[in-house]
Structure formats: C-alpha cells, structure tokens
C-alpha cells in the first residue's frame, strides 16, 4: 500500500491532537467516568476505527496485486486482534492500579499516560519490525515460533491456574531501577508526577504507576506486534490498528471492571488466535521462499478471529452467568 509522507504527517497530527485533547480534559477534570460516559466514548472510538477501515477500502492506493479492500480487511483483522489482546491485558492493569492504591478519580489519567507510553514503545517496535521484515523474510519463522510458544504457554497457564485470580507484579526491572534512583513521596498530589516538599523535588506515586504500566506494556508488545505483523506487513495499518485498539482500552476498563473476570475462556481464545497467526506467518515465509504455493487468505484470518472471539466470549458468559452479579459486586 502506497502511503505518502503527507498522509503519515496528517495521520500522526490528527492522532496526536486526539491524545492531547484527552490529556488536557483529564488534567482539568480528573474523575471516574460513569457507565454512560464510558459507553459513549467506546462507541465513538469503535465508530472512528470502522470509518478509518472503510476509508482504507475506498481510498488506499495498492502497489501489489492486492485490492484496497484487502488492505481494509487486514486493518480490521489487526484491530480486532490488538483489541482482544488489550482486553486480556486489562486484567493486569486492574491488579496494578489496585496494588498501588490509585484513587479511582486518577485512574483514568494514569491509564491515559500508560497508553501514550504504549503507543511510543509500539511505534518503535513497529519500525524495527518493518525494517527486519523488509530485509529478512526469514524473521517470519522467528515471529511464528514466538507466537506459537506464547499461545501454548497461555494454555499451560490456564490449565495450571484454572480460573484463579491472576497475579501481576509491578516490581519489574525498570521499576526497581526507578525506585532506587528517584526520590519519592507516598502521597498522591492530584495528577502531578512530582511536587516540591521542604524545598526538595520528589516524585509522586502516580509517576511510578505510569512507569509500571509503561514497562509492563513493553512485555505486552512482544506478543502483539509479531501477531499483527502476521496479519499485515503494512506499518501504516499496524500502527493505526494499535492506536484505535489502545484508545478504546481506557474506557473499557471502567465499563467492564470486574466483569472482565467472567471472560474465563478469553486466554484460550487468544491462545488459539496466536497459534493460528503463527501458522499463517510460517506459511507466508515458506511461500516467499517457494516451498509452498498457498497462503492463508486475509478474509479467512478475519473470519477465524471474529468467530473465536465471539465463541469464547459466549462460552465464558454462559459459564459464569450464575455468578456474574457476585463477580461484579466483588470488583467494587
């Protein structure tokens, strides 16, 4: 797909403006969004992603034997995969914000800052991945093996822990380093990352929360970036799919809350999707070297992703239907 520098500049400018607007609004009025507010914003971001995908189908300029609508299908496949992986990551975000005792009215701001860091990190990973793919087709074998390992590990973890509550440690290597070298206070001071106390500049717990979310997302990106490159090799589509998936994540956190615990089979569904994409990556690499003459069609990839997500979500809600109200109550 031919993407001119002008299109990149316009796209990044618009997306940056959206982020800046969001951050300014939250700094001016930190609050816990209501169910209605969260639902409205999720609908807005889903609608924007849908319009963007349709726009790709209408206005993209193919430079290969693909049609513009095939690029649109690749975008929607990547968007759904990234959104699904992001939903699974919400479990960890809930634990992090809870363990660090972030006041509810500041959680939205902390999540937004974490999302901005995630976009920066993923942008760097996308550039590195695109450069590798362009020069070394064999890297698809590595991506495929890593996704297969990740998918199998998800199944093993599920069998080992069942439906027990997941645990997550904020004590990553990055966090240990930051805590060791940065002077801090134990009290939150609004949305400020640092304050002056007794003439000395110290950092607030909110700063460490954002560092924790950012460092944890680096680990998440190791799964999600190879996965979406298995669906499309267009950096423009990879980045925009990540943007729309992450931007809807913050509101989803407040909308679903404890209901996420009802998606007991989500990990198994994601494991299947990752293994499917791993096979797709290996077939793509083998096709590149002329070892096979068939690749997984993009439309089939989208169908598999949609059916898997719908199937696992339905089974999860059916299994936990009787305990749903208790789960929701316990989250509060």
Q: Read off the pLDDT of residues 35-75 as tens digits, 9 standing for 90 and up.
A: 888 889 889 999 999 999 999 999 998 877 788 999 999 99
What is the per-residue pLDDT for 65? 79
State residue 171's pLDDT score. Answer: 56
State the first-to-last Cα distance of the chain, in angstroms, to the nearest integer. 47
Task: Read off the tokens for 125.
Answer: 């990973």
Task: Give the mean pLDDT of the chain.
Answer: 83
Mean pLDDT, range 300-308, rounded to an integer: 92
Question: Which of 34 and 331 is assigned the larger pLDDT?
Answer: 34
Strand partners, 200: 197
Strand 200-203 to 194-197 pairing? antiparallel
What per-residue confidence (pLDDT) applies to 303? 93
DSSP string computed for 197-252: ETTEEEE-HHHHHHHHHHHHHHHHHHHHHHHHHTT---HHHHHHHHHHHHHTHHHH
Q: Count Cα neighbours of 164 within 13 Å in the Cβ-side half-sphere.
A: 8
pLDDT at 166: 46
Check whether 185 has a pLDDT greater than 60.
Answer: yes
Residue 19: which pLDDT band, with cuts at 50, 70 and 90?
Answer: confident
pLDDT value at residue 167: 47
Above 60 in pLDDT, residue 331? no
Answer whether 0.85 is exceeded by the pTM.
no
What pLDDT does residue 327 have?
43
Q: Residue 108's pLDDT is what?
A: 83
Task: Identify the residue with better confidence: 64 or 243.
Answer: 243
Residue range 148-170, pLDDT digits in tens: 998 998 888 888 765 444 445 55
Region 168-194: mean pLDDT is: 73
Write down the H helix ranges in the chain.
5-28, 35-59, 68-99, 104-135, 139-161, 173-181, 205-229, 235-247, 249-256, 266-288, 298-319, 324-331
pLDDT at residue 267, rounded to an integer: 86
- Interval 64-85: pLDDT, tens: 778 899 999 999 999 999 888 8
State the Cα torsion 31-34-36-41 to the nearest 10°: 40
Q: Please check the confidence at residue 18 and state whether its pLDDT lies above 70.
A: yes
> Is the predicted pLDDT of residue 27 greater than 90, yes or no?
no
Higher pLDDT, 50 or 113: 50
pLDDT digits (tens, 9 = 90+) for 249-297: 878 877 776 566 677 888 899 899 999 999 999 998 898 888 998 888 8
Vertex 164: Cα angle to 159 and 170 (nearest 5):
105
Residue 184 has φ and ψ, to the nearest 5°, of -145, 165
Q: How confident is the model at residue 244 (pLDDT cuts 50, 70, 90)?
A: very high
Please state which of the ranges 28-32, 42-46, 102-106, 315-319 shows the lowest mean pLDDT.
28-32
- Please check the confidence at residue 100 and state whether its pLDDT lies above 70: yes
pLDDT of residue 235: 93
Beta bridge pairs of residue 197: 200
pLDDT of res. 280: 92
Record the tokens describing residue 112, joined without a space.
Answer: 């937004």
Count how many residues are written for the chain. 332
């Amino acid at each position: 797909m031919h993407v001119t520098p002008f299109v990149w500049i316009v796209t990044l400018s618009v997306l940056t403006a959206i982020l800046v607007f969001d951050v300014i609004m939250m700094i001016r009025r930190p609050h816990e969004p209501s169910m209605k507010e969260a639902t409205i914003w999720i609908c807005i971001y889903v609608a924007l992603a849908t319009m963007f995908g349709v726009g790709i189908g209408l206005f993209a300029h193919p430079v290969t034997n693909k049609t513009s609508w095939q690029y649109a299908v690749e975008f929607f496949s990547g968007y759904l995969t990234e959104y699904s992986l992001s939903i699974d990551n919400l479990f960890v975000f809930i634990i992090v914000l809870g363990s660090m005792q972030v006041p509810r009215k500041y959680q939205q701001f902390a999540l937004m800052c974490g999302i901005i860091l995630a976009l920066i990190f993923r942008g760097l990973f996308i550039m590195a991945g695109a450069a590798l793919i362009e020069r070394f087709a064999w890297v698809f074998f590595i991506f495929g093996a890593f996704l297969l390992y990740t998918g199998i590990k998800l199944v093993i973890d599920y069998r080992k822990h069942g439906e027990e509550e997941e645990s997550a440690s904020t004590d990553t290597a990055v966090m240990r380093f930051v805590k060791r070298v940065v002077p801090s206070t134990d009290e939150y001071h609004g949305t400020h990352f640092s304050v002056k106390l007794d003439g000395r500049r110290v950092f607030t717990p909110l700063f460490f929360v954002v560092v924790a979310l950012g460092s944890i997302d680096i680990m998440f990106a190791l799964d999600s970036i190879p996965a979406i490159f298995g669906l499309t090799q267009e950096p423009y589509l990879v980045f925009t799919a990540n943007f729309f998936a992450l931007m809807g994540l913050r509101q989803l956190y407040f909308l679903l809350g404890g209901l996420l615990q009802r998606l007991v089979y989500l990990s198994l569904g994601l494991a299947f999707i990752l293994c499917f994409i791993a096979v797709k990556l290996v077939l793509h690499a083998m096709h590149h070297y002329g070892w096979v003459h068939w690749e997984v069609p993009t439309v089939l990839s989208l169908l598999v992703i949609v059916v898997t997500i719908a199937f696992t979500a339905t089974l999860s809600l059916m299994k936990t239907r009787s305990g749903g109200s208790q789960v929701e109550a316990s989250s509060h």
